[in-house]
Amino acid sequence: MTVLSSSLDVAGPDYAAARAAMLERLDAVGAEHARALAGGGDKYVTRHRARGKLLARERVELLLDPDTPFLELSPLAGWGSDYTVGASIVTGVGVVEGVECVITANDPTVRGGASNPWTLKKALRANEIAFANRLPVISLVESGGADLPSQKEIFIPGGGLFRDLTRLSAAGVPTVAVVFGNSTAGGAYVPGMSDHVIMVKEQAKVFLGGPPLVKMATGEESDDESLGGAEMHAGVSGLADHFAVDELDALRLARRVVGRLNWRKATPDPDPDLDPAGFVSPPLYDEDELLGVVPGDLKVPFDPREVIARVVDGSDFDEVKARYGRSLVVGWARLHGYPVGILANAQGVLFSEESQKAAQFIQLANQRDVPLVFLHNTTGYMVGREYEQGGIIKHGAMMINAVANSRVPHLSVFMGASYGAGHYGMCGRAFDPRFLFAWPSAKSAVMGPQQLAGVLSIVARQSAVARGRPYDDEADAALREMVERQIEAESLAMFLSGRLYDDGVIDPRDTRTVLGMCLSAIHSAPVEGVRGGFGVFRM
């Protein structure tokens, strides 16, 4: 066994300070999560209930197998924008009749469940997850369609939602729509394009145009039920496959549909015999201690092995090239029984050695079909004459090439900093990690706020000198301070999560559980690495 030892001094002042800082950030994130849970607020929630309807999260809960968890995604979508936190839709991965599915549920208490730009991004992301991991999709529909004042942002890209549903179906990934209420115009194509459709009696309204629009267009007098009610669609148009007498019946029918999908994961669950010590052995160190690993000040480095020791099965980690390129820790482990390769930043900066080490390790994982976990705490690739002359660009490019063309599933966790091209090399958002989560301590930007403000100031000073103008030092100090504050605010986990640059901000203590759920979901699709299909490596 290669069990990690820990030198985390849980009784010391550094640990206490880091823990206090993390708890404070967690409180702040918790308050924002509470806003998302509150949906449209008391007035609209009360009205919704008075109509005898279930809330979006209640629908999800009743759909899931009892006592199974739901991995909610992007609950902070829209944070920092003019729209309600959560973006009027709930998305996530959960288990229905033993089948891991992507579930989406409109929140009709927020502007009638209408889709704003963040709703759209969140829904498209859920589809992406379903596609990449071959997870059946269940849409719990009740939406006012496009948020009309922001139509310019959503109308054209919104077609992607219909495209995705048909492409999922063509790829053999089942799609189920359960219609609880309004599903007008564009919304009508969600049941229109799903493999299986359930509609709720006297609630579902599925039509291209409601009575007022029909009156305007053709002069015809009509009503909701004859245009798009469940009874009509189940008995006349044939759009509904199942007629539900109420919401609970609809959820029961949805479970029956999933139970009959004959769905099998591409990769069976881990073999318990692989772990004779008990399935699956937890880490030897307390996950609670993850609260005190990341210092409040990200400039202070920390040893990612302390994190790995609290996340992987039995804290058992086979490190590779431990004496080479020490600023990046790489090695093999199991997580809830699934084999993983881990890449974790140690001192923050990536040098040529680290980049080459990463590229080699990523190739190995692809040869062995082993998923990769990236634990971020990097300020980027090293700059300076010595490093440029040593080929840092081509070595960084090598790592980025390896990440970009790797085909095994990637999972990314931002523990601390994720700056510059290091963010890319460590599989940032643009490199399509299957899932990406941030700790509340995470920060991501093109560079650190002080560095960015400093660079701007140097450039402005040089420009003034070149034009023969005096440089206003007082204005410069004010500008630097303003820029620093702006970049700091834009680098924070909540801001990034609001923009869907991750799949959610998680409590560090949940990292093992969240990664385990992701790994299980990932294995719904075949896990196959690329063999030799990388771009040209500059040597």
List contacts with ligand COA (CB under 6 A). Answer: 108, 111-112, 114, 144-148, 182, 184-186
CA of residue 401 relative to chain centroid, distance: 23
Q: Give least dist CB 367 to ligand COA, A.
A: 49
Residue with the closest Cβ to ligand COA?
Answer: 145
> Cα(300)–Cα(17) distance, rounded to whole angstroms?
13
Buried b (16+ CB within 10 A) or exposed e, 381-403: bbeeeebeeebbeebbbbbbbbb
Question: In the bound complex, what is the minimum distance in angstroms from residue 156's beta carbon to ligand COA?
Answer: 13
Query: What is the closest distance, in whole angstroms, from the C-beta atom of residue 146 to ligand COA in the complex?
Result: 4
Report d(CA 360, CA 365) in Å as an integer: 9
Specify the 3-state DSSP secondary structure of 488. Answer: helix
C-alpha to C-alpha distance for 294 and 174, rounded to whole angstroms: 41
Considering the complex, what minimum distance in angstroms separates the CB of residue 233 from ligand COA?
A: 17
What's the rounded Cα separation, in Å, for the pair 253 and 441? Answer: 42
3 state DSSP class of 100: strand
Question: Of all helices (H) and strands (E), which one includes residue 170?
Answer: helix 151-170
Cβ 434 to ligand COA shortest distance, Å: 32
Q: How far is the CB of 186 from ligand COA (least distance, A)?
A: 5
Count the Cβ atoms, other than its own, within 10 Å of residue 2.
Answer: 12
Q: Which is nearer to ligand COA, 188 or 251 (CB)?
A: 188
Nearer to ligand COA, 45 or 280 (CB): 45
Buried b (16+ CB within 10 A) or exposed e, 416-445: bbbbbbbbbbbbbbebebbbbbbbbbbbbb
Using the structure block, give the residue that is written with the tokens 């091209």: 421
- Nearest approach in angstroms of CB 104 to ligand COA is 17
- CB-nearer residue toward ligand COA: 154 or 291: 154
Q: Which is nearer to ligand COA, 146 or 251 (CB)?
A: 146
- Residue 148 or residue 322: which is nearer to ligand COA going by CB? 148
Q: Return the number of the residue (147 or 289) whose C-beta is nearest ligand COA.
A: 147
Residues 415 and 376 sit within 8 Å (Cβ to Cβ): yes
Q: Given the complex with ligand COA, which of 158 and 325 has the nearer CB atom?
A: 158
Among 112, 105, 116, 120, CA closest to 210: 112
CB hemisphere CA count around 419 (13 angstroms): 25
